[in-house]
Chain A
Amino acid sequence: MARFAMVIDTRQCVGCMDCVVACKTENGVPEGFNRDWIVQDVNGIYPTLHMEIRSERCNHCDNPPCVYCCPTGASHVHDLGGVVLVHHEKCIGCKACLAACPYDARFVHPEGYADKCTFCIHRVEKGLQPSCVAVCPTYCMYFGDLDDPLSEVSLLLTSRKYHLLLPETGTQPHIYYLT
C-alpha cells in the first residue's frame, strides 16, 4: 500500500505561483480556474510581522467529506495512494462536494463536472512527480509515500515542525506545511 502526501516548506516558498501555472498547462485547466493557489498569511503590526506563504490545493483527506456527500459515486478514493479523484462521466455537477470541502479546493469545470487537484496521478503512475512539485524553482515542495518510513516526506515530518490546514474539521488532510 501507499499513502501519498505533499510536504511544503513555507520557509522556502516565495509564492511565485509557478505551481499554479504548471498545473494549468499540465492539466489543461481552463482560463479563470485553478486547482492550486497561493495564500500569504500575514500577522502583526508593521514592521513586526510574521508571514507564511503557502501553496494550497486539495488535501486528499483520509476522511474526505467530498466523497461521503457525493450522490453518484463520482468523487472517490483512488486505489493508489489514497488520492481523491472525480469520475468526470459520473459527475452531475450538483456541487454538493464544493459545499462539503472545507478547503474550497473544488470548482465546476465549464464542461459540467467537479474538478480539483489529482496529485497529477497520471504522472505519478509513470514515476514522475506532480507537475507543481517538479516545476517549483525554490524546491519547497515534496511528494511521496507516508507508508514508506524512509521516503523524503516521512523523513521531513520526523525532523521538522509542521502544521496542517483545518485539522479540527476531522478531515485528516495530507498536505503538510513545514514551518
Chain B
Amino acid sequence: MNPITRRRFLKITGTSLGAAAAAKTLSVLPGTAHALEKAAAPSGVQVIPTFCDVCFWKCGALAYVRDGKLWKVEGNPEDPLSRGRLCPRGTGGIGAHYDPDRLTSPLLRRSSRGKEEWVEVTWDEALDYIAERMQAIKAKYGPESVALFTHGIGGNFLRHAVRAYGSPNIAAPSFAQCRGPRDVGFRLTFGEDVGSPERTDIANARCIVLIGSHLGENMHNTQVQEFSEAMAAGASLIVVDPRLSVAAGKAKWYLPIKPGTDMALLLAWMNVLLRENLYDREYVAAHGFGFEQFAAGIVDFTPEWAYPETGIPPEVIRETAREMARYRPATLVHPGRHVTWYGDDAQRSRAIALLNALLGSWGRKGGFYYPQSMDVPAYPYPPYPKSEKGKVDNPNNKYPFADETLTTGIREATISGKPYPVKGWLVYATNLIHALPNEAETICALQELDLLAVVDVIPSEIAGWADVVLPESIYLERYDDLNVEWFRQPFIALRQPVVNSPHNQKPNWWIARKLADKLGLGEYFPWKDIEEYLQYRLDKAGYSFDELKRKGIIRGEKQPIYFDEGVPAEFATPSGKIEFYSLQLAQAGFDPVPQYARPAEPPPGYFRLLYGRAPVHSFSRTQSNRLLMDMLPENDVWVNADVAARRGLKSGDYVRLKNQDGVLSNRIRVKATQRIRPDCVYMVHGFGHTAKGLRFARDKGASDAQLLTRYQTDPLMGGTGMNVNFVTFELEA
C-alpha cells in the first residue's frame, strides 16, 4: 500500500508549497460585478455570500435577506463550483431554516433507547452528560472506545475534539457505503483517487461513458452543468444502466445491462480495444506497468463471452468500444460516486480505471485533470495523543486496501467487543439508520453503548436512538471551517451566518469547543471563537478575511491541470507507473488483473432492488424541508410496465415490498414504466422515515435502507455492496 496524500501529490506535481503560497488573488473577475450589482439590489435586501450544505458539494451561494427574513439563495457567480447557479436542493435551502420539524433544544432521553421520549435540557446539562460518560469510558476502556461518525465539513471541529480526546476511530459512510471502492480502485491503478469534487473533465469530454451513474438525477451541481455543456457541444454519450435514467434518455448508445454484470462489459470493452488495436499505444508504452500480463489476463473476455452475461449484443459492445476509441483521449469513462453495489466494487472501479488508461484519458483534456489547491496552513494545535491500540475497524488489516476508517467495521467491533470494546458513539450529520445497510445490526450495536450522542438539525432516526441530542444551527446560520478546495482552479470559500438560528440551536464549532472544555481539553481550542480561528488561518496564508466575508470566494491563479500543460506524468504507485497488472493485489492474494464473477440471480418471483438519487433530495436529510418535499413528497417503486400488468399493478397503486429475509417496507406507490428492465425494481433513497419528530416526512414512501438486510463486503477495502437484495410485492389491502 502506498496511498498518496494530497500533500504529497502537491509536491509530486511540482506545485511546491512556495509556489502555491504565491498564488495570487485575481482582481475582480467577470461575474463579480454582477454579484455586486445584485448585492446592491432592492432596498431592504441584504445579500450575503456563503456556501451550501444541502449536499456535500459545497457550492458557493448568495443568500438574500429581505426585511430581516431569509428570502432566497442563488449561486455565487464567482464560485467555480456553482458558476452562479445552484441545484434545486441549494435553491431550496431556505426550507431547512424554516423547517417546522427541526430540532430546537438539547434533549436528554427519559425512557428506554429508541422510544424517542425526551426532556429538554440546557446546553450545559447536555454537554456535561456527554463529557461525564466520555470520561468514564476513557477511564474504563481507553479513549479509543469512543467513535465519531461524521459527514461533511461541518464535522471538522468535532473530529478535532475527538482526536484531542485520543480516539482515532472516526469514520464517514462516504467511504465504505459510497465512493470508497472507486477511490481504492483508482489509487491501485494511478496512485491517486478521483476525489470530491471529482477530477472528471466532463466539460471537455467528446465522449462520455456513464455506468450506472445517473447525472441529472444525481445532482452534483458542477458535474451536471458540465454534462449539459458537453451535450450541447455534441459529445457522444454512452449510458450503461438497467434503468433508462435521465442521462440514458439523452444517450447516443443506451446499453440496458443486466444488473451486476458491468465487470463483464468492461472486460469485453478492453478486450476489443486490444484486439482491434484501438488503445493509446504510445500512452500505454510510456506510462503502463505490466501491460503484457494484463493483455494475457483479458484475452478470453470477448464480446461473445460477455453477451450472455450482460445481455448486450457483441456488435453493440464492439461499436461502443470503437466509439470510445474514436474520441480518445477526450473520452471519459466516468468512475461514478456511489459505487458500493456488489462487493467486487473496488475491482470493478479498477477495471474502469484501466479502461480509461487504455484510452489515455488520465491527465488529459476531456478525461481526468490534476486538481489544484491554495496553501492555507492548518491551525497550529498541540499534537494529538498517540493511540496505543490503533483503530478498531479493520483488525489484522483484514481489508488491506481500506485506507479510510470503516463505519461498518466500527459497528462490527461495537457488537463483538473485538479487537476491543467500543462504548461511545458520537454522530454528526449522518443518519446511520438510513446510511448503513442492515438496520438490525446498527440497532444491535447501539445496545452495547454507554453513550450515544447525536448532533443533527432534524430529529432523524439515529437521533431517535440517542441518549443526548444536540440541535445544530443549519448552514445558513453558522460559520464553518474554510473550504480550501481542490479543483480545476484553486479557491477558498467561506461559510458564514446569514440569519440567526430561530431557537436554541448552536453551531458545530461552538459545540465542539464547549465539549472539549468540559473534557479538560481546552488547550486544543485556544481561539475564543471561530472568527478568530478563521482570521488566524487566513492571515497566515496571506488572504483577507474581510474580503472573503464580502465575496464568499477568493480564487487563486489557474495552474496547469493536464500533462500537456506541464503537469509531470508521475504516478504514486509502487512501480511509479499506471499499474495494468498490480503486484500489490497479487501479493495480498487478489486478482492482479480484474476478473468477472457472475452475480446471484433473484429467487423466482423476486426482483433485484436498485436505488438511486432524486435531484431534489440529499440522502435522508431533506425530507422535512417543505420546499423540497413540495417537489417530491414520496418515492415510487419503478416496475417494468409489462411486469406490472402481469401482476395487476397500476401506476399509483400502493404496495409494500418484502425482501428475501421477510422484511416488509412501508407502503410505496407503483410507477409502472417502460424505463426499467423486468428483472429489477428501483426507488429513490432517503424516504420512508419512521422518526416521531419528523412529523411531515414520517411514513411517506418506503426506505430502501430498511430492505438492505444483506450486503456483500468488498474483500479489498471493506465497502458494503448493497445491490444484492431482492424484493417482491405485497398488495395493500
A residues in contact (CB < 8 Å) with B: 9, 11-12, 14-18, 20-22, 24-26, 31-32, 34, 42, 44-47, 49-51, 53, 134-140
Given known A-B contacts A25-B94, A49-B675, A12 and B231 have beta carbons under 8 A apart: yes
CA distance A9 to B233 in the complex (A): 13
Given known A-B contacts A46-B256, A47-B254, A137-B85, A14 and B616 have beta carbons under 8 A apart: no
Partner of B216, one of A15, A26, A45: A15
- B674 contacts the other chain (Cβ, under 8 Å)? yes
Report yes or no: A25 in contact with B675, Cβ–Cβ below 8 A: no
CA distance A34 to B626 in the complex (A): 13
Chain B positions within 8 Å of A32 at CB level: 630
Report yes or no: A11 in contact with B231, Cβ–Cβ below 8 A: yes
User: How close is A96's CB to chain B, nearest CB, in angstroms?
Assistant: 27
Chain A positions within 8 Å of B85 at CB level: 18, 134-137, 139
- Find the B residue at minimum CB distance from A23: B91
- B381 contacts the other chain (Cβ, under 8 Å)? no
Report yes or no: A21 in contact with B627, Cβ–Cβ below 8 A: yes
CA distance A47 to B255 in the complex (A): 8
Chain B contact residues: helix, strand, loop or mixed? mixed
Partner of A14, one of B73, B74, B217, B229: B217
User: How close is B676's CB to chain A, nearest CB, in angstroms?
Assistant: 7
Interface mask (B206-230 → A, CB under 8 Å = 1, otherwise 0): 0000000001110101001101110
Report yes or no: A16 in contact with B627, Cβ–Cβ below 8 A: no
CA distance A28 to B41 in the complex (A): 18
Given known A-B contacts A16-B216, A20-B88, A22-B91, A139 and B675 have beta carbons under 8 A apart: no
- B56 contacts the other chain (Cβ, under 8 Å)? no
CA distance A34 to B92 in the complex (A): 14
CA distance A153 to B217 in the complex (A): 27
Partner of B225, one of A45, A50, A139: A139
CA distance A46 to B216 in the complex (A): 21
Across the A-B interface, the 7 shortest Cβ-Cβ residue pairs = A14-B216, A51-B249, A138-B228, A16-B615, A47-B256, A25-B72, A18-B88
Residue contacts A-B, CB under 8 angstroms, 14 given = A9-B232, A11-B232, A14-B246, A15-B246, A15-B615, A20-B88, A20-B631, A21-B88, A26-B72, A46-B676, A46-B677, A134-B74, A137-B219, A138-B228
CA distance A22 to B75 in the complex (A): 11
Given known A-B contacts A18-B91, A49-B675, A31 and B249 have beta carbons under 8 A apart: no
Report yes or no: A14 in contact with B224, Cβ–Cβ below 8 A: yes
CA distance A137 to B205 in the complex (A): 18
Partner of B249, one of A21, A53, A139: A53
B residues in contact (CB < 8 Å) with A: 71-75, 85-88, 91-92, 94, 215-217, 219, 221, 224-225, 227-229, 231-232, 244, 246-247, 249-250, 254, 256, 615-616, 626-628, 630-632, 640-641, 673-678
Between A and B, how many residue pairs show CB distances below 8 Å? 123
Chain A positions within 8 Å of B92 at CB level: 21, 25
User: How close is B315's CB to chain A, nearest CB, in angstroms?
Assistant: 15
Report yes or no: A46 in contact with B244, Cβ–Cβ below 8 A: yes
CA distance A51 to B75 in the complex (A): 29
- Find the A residue at minimum CB distance from B224: A137
CA distance A53 to B248 in the complex (A): 12
Report yes or no: A135 in contact with B225, Cβ–Cβ below 8 A: no
Report yes or no: B231 in contact with A18, Cβ–Cβ below 8 A: no
User: How close is B220's CB to chain A, nearest CB, in angstroms?
Assistant: 10
Partner of B674, one of A12, A14, A44, A138: A44
- Find the B residue at minimum CB distance from A26: B72
Chain B positions within 8 Å of A136 at CB level: 85
Chain A positions within 8 Å of B616 at CB level: 16-17, 21
User: How close is B594's CB to chain A, nearest CB, in angstroms?
Assistant: 26
Chain A positions within 8 Å of B227 at CB level: 14, 138
Given known A-B contacts A15-B216, A138-B225, A47 and B244 have beta carbons under 8 A apart: yes
Chain B positions within 8 Å of A18 at CB level: 85-88, 91, 615
Chain B positions within 8 Å of A42 at CB level: 244, 249, 673-675
Report yes or no: B675 in contact with A46, Cβ–Cβ below 8 A: yes
- Find the B residue at minimum CB distance from A25: B72
Given contacts A14-B246, A22-B72, A138-B216, 12 further A-B contacts (CB under 8 A): A12-B231, A14-B215, A17-B615, A18-B91, A21-B631, A34-B630, A42-B244, A45-B674, A46-B674, A51-B246, A135-B75, A139-B85
Chain B positions within 8 Å of A135 at CB level: 74-75, 85-86, 91
- Find the A residue at minimum CB distance from B75: A135
CA distance A114 to B225 in the complex (A): 35
Chain A positions within 8 Å of B674 at CB level: 42, 44-46, 49
- Find the B residue at minimum CB distance from A30: B630
Report yes or no: A137 in contact with B86, Cβ–Cβ below 8 A: yes
Chain A positions within 8 Å of B249 at CB level: 42, 49-51, 53
User: How close is B179's CB to chain A, nearest CB, in angstroms?
Assistant: 21
Report yes or no: B228 in contact with A17, Cβ–Cβ below 8 A: no
Report yes or no: A16 in contact with B224, Cβ–Cβ below 8 A: yes
CA distance A102 to B664 in the complex (A): 43
Chain B positions within 8 Å of A45 at CB level: 674
- Find the B residue at minimum CB distance from A50: B249
CA distance A156 to B232 in the complex (A): 13
Report yes or no: B72 in contact with A137, Cβ–Cβ below 8 A: no
CA distance A141 to B34 in the complex (A): 19
Report yes or no: B88 in contact with A25, Cβ–Cβ below 8 A: no
Report yes or no: A137 in contact with B225, Cβ–Cβ below 8 A: yes
CA distance A49 to B641 in the complex (A): 13
Report yes or no: B88 in contact with A16, Cβ–Cβ below 8 A: yes
Chain B positions within 8 Å of A47 at CB level: 244, 254, 256, 677
CA distance A53 to B244 in the complex (A): 13
CA distance A136 to B224 in the complex (A): 11
Chain A positions within 8 Å of B615 at CB level: 14-18
CA distance A170 to B365 in the complex (A): 49
Chain A positions within 8 Å of B224 at CB level: 14, 16, 137-138
Chain A positions within 8 Å of B246 at CB level: 14-15, 51, 53
Chain B positions within 8 Å of A14 at CB level: 215-217, 224, 227-228, 246-247, 615
Given known A-B contacts A49-B674, A53-B246, A140-B228, A24 and B627 have beta carbons under 8 A apart: yes
User: How close is B34's CB to chain A, nearest CB, in angstroms?
Assistant: 10
CA distance A18 to B221 in the complex (A): 11
CA distance A26 to B32 in the complex (A): 21
User: How close is B232's CB to chain A, nearest CB, in angstroms?
Assistant: 6
- Find the B residue at minimum CB distance from A14: B216
Chain B positions within 8 Å of A12 at CB level: 228, 231-232
User: How close is B135's CB to chain A, nearest CB, in angstroms?
Assistant: 46
CA distance A44 to B216 in the complex (A): 22
CA distance A15 to B247 in the complex (A): 11
Partner of A11, one of B73, B250, B254, B676: B250
Among B87, B91, B630, residue most surrounded by chain A Cβ atoms (within 10 Å): B91
CA distance A136 to B87 in the complex (A): 8
CA distance A47 to B630 in the complex (A): 31
CA distance A9 to B92 in the complex (A): 23
- Find the B residue at minimum CB distance from A18: B88
User: How close is A161's CB to chain B, nearest CB, in angstroms?
Assistant: 15
Among B249, B615, B678, residue most surrounded by chain A Cβ atoms (within 10 Å): B249
- Find the B residue at minimum CB distance from A12: B228
Report yes or no: B229 in contact with A139, Cβ–Cβ below 8 A: yes
CA distance A14 to B218 in the complex (A): 10
CA distance A21 to B632 in the complex (A): 11
- Find the A residue at minimum CB distance from B628: A21
- Find the A residue at minimum CB distance from B676: A46
CA distance A22 to B61 in the complex (A): 13
